Amino acid sequence: MVQQAKGVDIDRADEFSRRLLDALYEMGLMPLSLTERPASYDKYPKELLAYLQSRPGDERSRVEMAFQEWQAWVLRKPKYAATKSDAYPAVMALGQWMRDNADLFNKATIRHLRKSFYGRTYAYLYPRLDQIVNFKDYCHEQNVGLDEVPRRQLPAQMDNSETGQRKAWLRAVADKGFVEVHFYKGTERSRQAIVKNLGEKYVEPLQEEAMTFLLNNPHYFDKVFRKDN
């Protein structure tokens, strides 16, 4: 049964939240740590919600107008310039999902999302970022398996001017085979934290999500590395 809270379809609100955050992280427009100023966690989601709240028309035309205007606004962001071609499919998919679910965006849902997106973003980021940083430290400290990785060019959204050791393991974390072999071993501390704070049943799905997130967003790992070093 679909959960309801004061006129809000919680299940679909959760799905919208996840899809929007997936797209924003692929665009490189969201925080790289858990200690940034609060506005950095919900700036872009709240802007989309503001468009949805203020545009006239029936459900579908209002959603279409809001998404097109938000998309035009977000595409101009300088941080996004290096990743447009790679991330844009996620933006298009988000727009199509919103059109298909236009009835979701009533006043109650928009109000609920505006009030909850800071927490939603933090909850989305924590298990992913904590594991990615843990894995980064593991790769850096252990210097593991870099000879396993083909010497191909780094993904376009990463800095191909890098040389030496840094380039070697930035290439490694963009390689699916390397990540699948080493991610579990490299995130022991994060797994223990998940068990302690959330419970054993969350370890496997959150680890799978974090690994998928890393492989889909190698530029994010690159930025985490640069921020922490």
Between CA 157 and CA 136 the distance in angstroms is 18
Q: pTM for this structure?
A: 0.74
- Half-sphere CA count of 111, side-chain side, radius 13 A: 7
| Residues 34 and 125: beta-carbon distance below 8 Å | yes
Angle (CA) 136-202-211 rounded to 5° is 30
Q: What is the pLDDT tens value at each position of the chain, 229 positions in all?
A: 444 566 789 999 999 999 999 888 877 787 777 788 888 889 999 999 999 999 888 889 999 999 999 999 988 875 655 455 667 888 899 999 999 999 999 999 999 999 999 999 988 888 888 888 888 788 777 766 555 555 554 455 455 555 555 666 666 666 777 777 788 888 888 888 888 888 888 888 888 888 887 777 666 666 665 554 4
| Residues 134 and 189: beta-carbon distance below 8 Å | yes
Residue ranges with strand state E in the chain: 4-5, 8-9
| 162-to-23, 167, 222 alpha-carbon distances in Å | 26, 5, 11
SS3 content of the chain, % helix, strand, coil (to 5): 75, 0, 25
Note the pLDDT tens digit of each residue in 129-165. 888 888 878 877 776 655 555 555 445 545 555 555 5
> Strand pairing partners for 9?
4
